[in-house]
Amino acid sequence: MKRFSVNLLLQISFAFQKRGPINPFTNEELLELIQKATAGDKPSLETVMLSVQDLVFNLSLRMLGTFPDAEDASQDILLKVMSHLSSFKGGSSFST
């Protein structure tokens, strides 16, 4: 598996923040799902991750240009999102 530099992942993350998410949840609904997910509710975690995975992949693909690289970067990004989910306090949009 190819590892990406922190700088590249930060660039992808920044571009994702600028674009913003397009998902079916309001910020309040997403915050509730995140709170449930951090409390151990696996269906809520799955819902949160599914709500952003296509956006992360599409942005990675646009920035990196190839499917394999976009898949690897997306996996790295989503793992970071999952591992830092409990630090999200809801003071901003989830995409930031």
Give tens-digit pLDDT for 38-52: 999 998 888 888 888
| Inter-CA distances, 79 with 26, 28, 39, 52, 84, Å | 23, 23, 17, 12, 9
Amino acid in the structure at residue 31: L
Angle of CA points 84, 54, 30, to nearest 5°: 50
Give tens-digit pLDDT for 65-95: 898 899 999 999 999 988 888 888 777 666 6
Measured in whole angstroms, the distance separating CA 27 from the mean position of its chain's CA atoms is 14
**Separation between Cα atoms, residue 45 and residue 65, nearest integer Å:** 29
Measured in whole angstroms, the distance separating CA 8 from the mean position of its chain's CA atoms is 15
